[in-house]
A = this chain, B = another copy of it.
Amino acid sequence: MAAEHLLNSPPEPVPEATLRDALAKARGLLAETRTLIQEAFQKDFQFQRKADQSWVTDIDLAVERLLRARLQEQFPGYGLIGEEFPEQNRTAKFTWVIDPIDGTSSLRHRVPLFGTILALLHEGKSVLGLMDLPMLGRLYSGGAGLGVWCNDRPLRIADVNGDAEILSEIISLGGRGQFVSAGVPEVFDDLTRLHPHVRTYGDCFGHGLALEGAVGAMVDFDLRVWDVAASEALVEEAGGKFVCVRRREGKDSSPGEARYDVIFGKPRVVDWILRRLKLS
């Protein structure tokens, strides 16, 4: 009983000073990657397909290498999970999660709505999140108990006042291909019919708009942990509602292999979507 109780007890809270220090350092790292990306974006860069048919550019690889090197230096012993290279220190209590370029397809086509994501997990729970959009000059950052900011502006997700306002909101979806991959294209098709203002603002751009309350909710399916861990910490801290509708395990139980289908944003808008899609 004692052992079982221990296993099930929530993790010790992380001291606020530890979180603040980690957040400040992570912001510094994203200032560095922003410069790297802005400079590389002006030039030609190479891209190729990965084994899973998704694209990777030279910039993705350079950014993840830089972040891994700096994080190992500044946070010795922490775990590392990133999109482009193998997991490190899997049993660590703290783990940094890296998406060097979230929106590689946008970057490849030079659509400026991509960014770099960092999240800190404590015993598997997301406690810090950062999303930097270099071409828009926007850094979303924050953490559990600390607050959430877009650059220096504090963010607080205000709910809609009632159901009548829900249809005036914008709802943002990932691309239809993600819903096809998740086996539920009807979620995309139904929502574009049920709501008059659906747009596909994917990746960290759409996630950031949800944090600002510019879109009422973000519906993003078939994500990996590096796509979603920052948003989970940020949305909850900003007073929004974050629902993981489904978590599907990958070919092994490593966190980098699982897929997540999530809906988040203003609480009443999220609830409306869950009801209309019969997910609640």
* Interface residues in chain A, defined as those with a beta carbon under 8 Å from any beta carbon in chain B: 105, 109-112, 136, 169-170, 175-177, 188-189, 192-193, 196-202, 209, 212-215
A219–chain B nearest beta-carbon distance, Å: 14
With A112-B136, A198-B200 known, 5 other A-B pairs at CB within 8 A are A109-B215, A176-B192, A177-B197, A189-B189, A199-B200
- Cα of A136 to Cα of B134 in the assembled complex, Å: 11
Per DSSP, are chain A's interface residues mostly helix, strand or loop, or mixed? loop
Q: How far is the CA of A196 from the CA of B54 in the complex (A)?
A: 13
* A197–B174 alpha-carbon span in the complex (Å): 11
> Given contacts A105-B170, A136-B112, A209-B111, are A199 and B175 in contact (CB under 8 A)?
yes
Q: Which of B111, B202, B214 contacts A215 (CB 8 A)?
A: B111
Q: A105-B170, A189-B189 are in contact. Are A198 and B176 (CB under 8 A)?
A: yes
Top 4 A-B pairs ranked by shortest CB distance? A199-B200, A110-B214, A111-B214, A109-B214
Cβ B177 vs Cβ A109 within 8 A: no
Question: What distance in Å separates the Cβ of A239 from its nearest Cβ neighbour in chain B?
Answer: 17
B189 touches A175 (CB 8 A): no
